[in-house]
Structure 1
Amino acid sequence: MSYKKLFQCIGLFACLNLLTACTVTDLDADGNPIIPKDPNAVVSFADFTLSEVADQLWQPKVFPEATQEFTPWESIKSQLDAQQINTKQSFFVRLNGTIDSVNLGKMRGVITLKVGDTNIDLQVGRIIKGNAIRDASKYVLFDDFKNQIRFAQISREFNNRAMASIGEPDTSWVGEKATVIAAITIDQNTISDAVPMQITRGGK
């Protein structure tokens, strides 16, 4: 066999190997190849609706964080008494107290929980102000959102899920003992926003 034919055979075998190694790629409706997603790729919130983003964060991460990694109220109370929280900060906290009052409106409502010598107003209702849940969580990061507006709006989705978690409060709750998981924001040594995420009532 001449060298020319030998090289032609080698080339033919190389082409056959390449064709064998190739896989057939499916095409979408526009004729573009469908590239499978990398299972190790980081999920981007940019392509999700806000409700979908909240679904990705609430039950898998934020709610367990609040119920398991909260700051003890006694620690926060001692800092408040010592006037030590002068910058705006948000915390998950567990509160044990008595429901002192339930005042409900069409859009806003407040449950006042008496914890020792402190009355804490817990927001309930369709409109919840502040970003206590978002800012208390270590899992909600600004860089994961495509702009500041979406980062601000995710608080509404978290608040909606918090309200769904606590049930429907009414005046019959007054006087009952309760354990509450809440997100609170403290600004200038004062609780400015508090949102209940779980309320467990324990009787009179």
Structure 2
Amino acid sequence: EKYGHKEKQGNAPWTLAAKVDGVIVAEETKSRAAYVDVDVDGDQKADVRVSIGPAIRGTAIRDSLKFVNFNEFKNQIEWAQYGKSFNTHVNGLLLEKLPREGLTGKTIKATGAYPLPAKGQLPQFVPVAITVGG
């Protein structure tokens, strides 16, 4: 509960706020739902998948917020649009400015959120702040 949030209604997973600091070990930039896989513990294996857009899957940013809940919206459509608006904003503010070539081997620092993944799956991390270094 200290690091995450879970809606009381429905079957939504825990969504956790986190920081990522590591090295990009793989990239998929051809898809609109582009991402980089990041090694955070130095073993050369991906520990987290960071979305770099322009399309961002899911609503991790919205779902990590404790101060807003589904019951404050008129219906499920408004709730979904609210979640999508965060993704659109983050893409325009940050992600569309990121390089798309030669990312593997570069360092990355990001702050964001991710839903608790299924066992054996990489966390699907959505950044709200991101820096890709040399």
Cα separation, partners in 2 of 1:201 and 1:129, compared to 1, 3 Å: closer
Distance 1:160 1:124, change over 3 A: same
1:168 Cα deviation after fit: 2.3
Give the Cα–Cα distance (whole angstroms) in 1 for the partners of residues 19 and 123 of structure 2: 17
Aligned to 1:124: 52
Consecutive aligned runs of 4 or more in structure 1 exceeding 4 Å deviation: none
Residue from 76, 79, 99 that aligns with 1:169? 99
Q: Which has the higher strand share?
A: 2
Paired with 1:140 and 1:194, the residues of 2 have a C-alpha distance of 20
The structure that is helix-richer by fraction is 1
**Greater relative CO (CA pairs within 8 A, separation 6+):** 2
The 2-side partners of 1:94 and 1:141 are apart by 24
2:8 maps to what in 1? none
**Which string of whole-angstrom CA distances, capped at 9 and with x for unpartnered residues, describes residues 50-72 of structure 1?**
xxxxxxxxxxxxxxxxxxxx94x
- 2: CA distance between counterparts of 1:121 and 1:158? 19
**1:179 corresponds to which letter in structure 2?**
K
Alpha carbon RMSD of aligned pairs, Å? 2.3
Tell me how far 1:191 sits from its aligned partner: 4.2
Aligned pair in 2 of structure 1 residues 151, 191: CA closer, same or farther (>3 Å)?
farther
**1:32-83 CA deviation, whole Å, 9 max, x = no partner?**
xxxxxxxxxxxxxxxxxxxxxxxxxxxxxxxxxxxxxx94xxxxxxxxxxxx
Amino acid at match of 1:198: A
Task: Show structure 1 runs of 5+ residues with no match.
Answer: 1-69, 72-86
Tell me the CA shift for residue 171 of structure 1.
2.1
**Matches of 1:153 and 1:178, distance apart in 2:** 29
From 98, 110, 127, give the equivalent of 1:180.
Answer: 110
TM-score, normalised to structure 1, is 0.51
**Structure 2 portions without partners, runs of 5+:** 4-11
CA–CA distance in structure 2, aligned partners of residues 104 and 202 of structure 1: 17
Larger radius of gyration: 1
Post-superposition CA distance 1:136-177 (Å, at most 9, x none): 111232122111111012121111122232322322332122
User: Is the contact between residue 102 and residue 169 of structure 1 (CA under 8 Å) also seen in structure 2?
Assistant: no
Flag the 1:139–1:191 CA change in 2: closer, same or farther, 3 A.
farther
Q: Residues of 2 paired with 1:156 and 1:144: CA distance? A: 16
The alpha-carbon deviation at position 109 of structure 1 amounts to 0.8
- Matched-pair contact (CA < 8 Å) for 1:90–1:185: yes
User: For 2:75 and 2:60, how far apart are their aligned partners in 1?
Assistant: 19
Say yes or no: does 1:93 pair with 2:93. Answer: no
